Amino acid sequence: MPRPTTPRTATTRWKRIRTRLIRTRTHQCHHCGTALDPKAKRGEPGAIEIDHLIPYIERPDLAHDPNNLVLSCRPCNLAKGGKAYGEPFQVPTTSLPLPTSQQW
Ligand SMILES: [Zn+2]
């Protein structure tokens, strides 16, 4: 189910920043290194999300600061969620390649 668009990300300013980041940054998750697909729609594998390094709740004044924004995959963005800046978070295993075994 698509996540409802919040007013914060529905602004023209945010869309412009998002577009610029996707155009200028490497299409790779900042946290786990997963390749991201700029053509993937929200919720699809590889869809790009914009993550605030310092969470919005801590520094709303940095919400539109490119230095505070990174490209992220959805699993990492979700796992990071409301964690404070610098607080470690578990990179979800779902975003890593599945282990395969030839032993069976
Ligand atoms: Zn990731």
pLDDT given at position 100:
59
pLDDT given at position 101:
58
pLDDT tens-digit readout, 66-99: 999 999 999 999 999 878 888 888 888 755 555 5
Query: CA 83, CA 57: separation in Å to the nearest integer?
Result: 10
Q: How far is the CA of 59 from the centre of ligand 1 (A)?
A: 22
pLDDT tens-digit readout, 27-74: 999 999 999 999 999 889 999 999 999 999 899 999 999 999 999 999
Q: How far is the CA of 90 from the centre of ligand 1 (A)?
A: 10
Helix (H) / strand (E) containing 12: helix 12-24
pLDDT given at position 94:
59
Nearest of 36, 39, 38 to residue 77 by alpha carbon: 36
Q: How far is the CA of 25 from the centre of ligand 1 (A)?
A: 15
Longest CA–CA span in the chain (Å) reads 54
